[in-house]
Amino acid sequence: MSTRRRLNLWPEFLQGFDNLRAHKMRSVLTMLGMIFGVAAVIAMLSIGAGAQAQVIAFIEQLGVRNLIVEAREAADNETLQRVRKLSAGMRFQDLRVIENSVQGIAAASPRKRFLPSKLLPKPFGEMPTVYGVRPAYQTISNLRVTAGRFFTDEENREAAPVTVLGQGAAATLFGAEDPTGRFIKVNEQWFRVIGVAGPQLSAQGNVGGLPATDRNNLIYVPISSAMLRIEDSRSFLVDEIDAMYFSLNPGVDVASSGTVIRGLLDSLHRGAGDFTVVVPAELLAEQQRTKRLFEFIMVAIASISLLVGGIGIMNIMLASVMERTREIGVRRAIGATRRDVIRQFLIETTLITVSGGFVGTLVGIGLSQLVAYLAGWSTIVTVTSVAVASLVSVTVGIVFGLYPAVRAARLDPVHALHYE
C-alpha cells in the first residue's frame, strides 16, 4: 500500500500544479508573501553578516594577544583643562612604568599621531595621517611590508628621516609609481620612503574606544623622528604620546593584564579618566555574541513577513476548499480517503511555498548585491541564511495549509456532492 501511494504522488503533484496554473494570478499573489518574506530574511542576514564579519576581521587584525591604550580626547577645552589639573596626559613615563610592572610583555610601542599642515607631493585625496612609532609596531600590528622594508631600532635611536607609507598614502602621493627611494616633505622636514605597507582593514566607526581611522592612509616614521623633526604644539594640554601598543607572550592572561594596566594608569593619572584600555580578545568575544543575537533578531523580524504570507496561504486555500467542494465530494465518492484529500491540498500548499521560497531566495540574493553595490557595504549571503529562510517558509506554508486541508477532508461526501 505504501509503495502504491508513493507512486501516486507524481500524478497528485501534476494535478496540484494544474490547479495552481488554472488560477495563475491568485497563485502568484499568494506566493508574494513567501517571496518577500524569504527575500527579507536573506537580505537582512546577508547585510548583517557582512557588517559583523568586517568588524570581527578588524578586531582580529588588532591581535588577540595585544593590548591597546588610547588617549581619550576631551569634549571641549574647559573639560581638557579640568582633566589636566589631575593628569598630565599620556606620557613616555606611563609606558616605562607598564613595561617594568606588567609581566609577559613581548613587545611595546608608543604612538604619536600628527596631521600634517603641509605635505609634498601634494596628496590627490584626503591628507594622510603621520604615525610616529617604534619598529616593534610592525610586529605588534602584524603590519606586512609589500615593498622595501620597515625602519630599524638604530634608525629610531638616530631619529633618521625615513618613512614607510601605507598603501593608501602611497597611492594618494605617488599614484601608480613605486615610491620606494623617493622623498616626501612633512611640514618642513624631508623623509626618504624606504617601504610600503600592505593593505589593512579599517573600521567605519568607533570600535571599542578606538577612533575611526583609515589605516591604509598612514605615514609611519620613527617616533624619535616624529618628536624631533615634525612641528607640534608643546602646550601642556597636549598628550606627549597618544597611544601605547603591547603584545603579550603566549600563556599570559590578556584580560588580567588589561586590568593591571588599567589600574596602573588610574593611579598614575589620579582617576582623570583620560585614557581607554582596549582588549581586542574581549572585543572579539563580545562581537561574536552580538552577531548571534543580531541574527536571531533579524530572523524574528523578517519572519513576520513569512507569517503574513502564511495567513495569505490559509485564506486562499480555504477559498479553494469552498470552490472545490463538489470535486472533493466526487473524489470521496469514488474511494479517496481523508488522507488522500489532505495530501492533495498539502501538495498544493508545498508547491506554493517552495516556488515562493525559490524566487524569494533569488530576490534576496539580488537585494543584498544591490545594497552592496549602491551603499558600498560588505554583504555575505551564507548557506545558513538561505537554509533558515527556506525551512521557515516551508514550515509556515505547511502549518497554515494544514487546517484548510483537514477541513476539506472532513467534508461530508453526500453534502459535498450536492453543493452548488
- List, for residues 24-64, the tens digit of each pLDDT value: 777 787 788 778 878 887 887 887 777 777 777 777 777 77
User: Angle 2-22/24-62 helices, nearest 10 degrees?
Assistant: 100
Q: What is the pLDDT of residue 206?
A: 62
* Rounded Cα–Cα distance for residues 223 and 242 (Å): 12
In a domain, 2, yes or no: no
Percent residues over pLDDT 70 in the chain: 89
Q: Which of 81-95, 199-213, 268-282 has the lowest mean pLDDT?
A: 199-213
- List, for residues 292-307, the tens digit of each pLDDT value: 777 777 767 766 767 7
In a domain, 215, yes or no: yes
* Rounded Cα–Cα distance for residues 88 and 84 (Å): 5
2 or 286, higher pLDDT? 286
- List, for residues 330-344, the tens digit of each pLDDT value: 777 777 777 777 777
Domain end call among 242, 273, 304: 273
In a domain, 94, yes or no: yes
Contacts of 82 (CB under 8 A, 6+ apart): none
350 or 226, higher pLDDT? 226
Residue 417 has pLDDT above 80, yes or no: no
pTM, rounded to two decimals: 0.68
Contacts of 371 (CB under 8 A, 6+ apart): 43, 47, 377, 379
In a shared domain, residues 29 and 135: no
What separation in angstroms does the CA of 317 have from each of 10, 128, 340, 360, 402? Answer: 21, 64, 16, 21, 9
In a domain, 280, yes or no: no
Q: What is the pLDDT of residue 207?
A: 62
Contacts of 283 (CB under 8 A, 6+ apart): 59, 62, 207, 208
2 or 129, higher pLDDT? 129
Its domain, for residue 47, covers 7-58+286-417
Q: What is the pLDDT of residue 302?
A: 65
- List, for residues 187-221, the tens digit of each pLDDT value: 889 999 999 999 987 766 566 667 777 889 999 99
Domain end call among 220, 243, 273: 273
In a domain, 68, yes or no: no
Q: What is the pLDDT of residue 416?
A: 56
In a domain, 281, yes or no: no
* Mean per-residue pLDDT over the chain, rounded: 82
Looking at residues 381-408, what average pLDDT do you find?
77
**Quick one: residue 115, left, alpha or beta (phi over 0 = left, psi -120 to 50 = alpha)?**
beta
In a shared domain, residues 341 and 410: yes
In a shared domain, residues 93 and 151: yes
In a shared domain, residues 266 and 351: no
Q: Which of 74-83, 129-138, 410-419 has the lowest mean pLDDT?
A: 410-419
In a shared domain, residues 142 and 14: no
* Rounded Cα–Cα distance for residues 49 and 381 (Å): 8
Q: What is the pLDDT of residue 181?
A: 94
- List, for residues 157-180, the tens digit of each pLDDT value: 999 999 999 999 999 999 889 999
In a domain, 66, yes or no: no
Q: What is the pLDDT of residue 233?
A: 56
Residue 411 has pLDDT above 80, yes or no: no
180 or 379, higher pLDDT? 180
Residue 7 has pLDDT above 50, yes or no: no
* Rounded Cα–Cα distance for residues 170 and 165 (Å): 6
Residue 101 has pLDDT above 80, yes or no: yes
* Collapsed DSSP state (helix, strand, coil) of residue 120: strand
In a shared domain, residues 175 and 44: no
- List, for residues 218-263, the tens digit of each pLDDT value: 999 999 999 888 866 555 567 889 999 999 998 888 889 999 999 9
Q: What is the pLDDT of residue 197?
A: 94
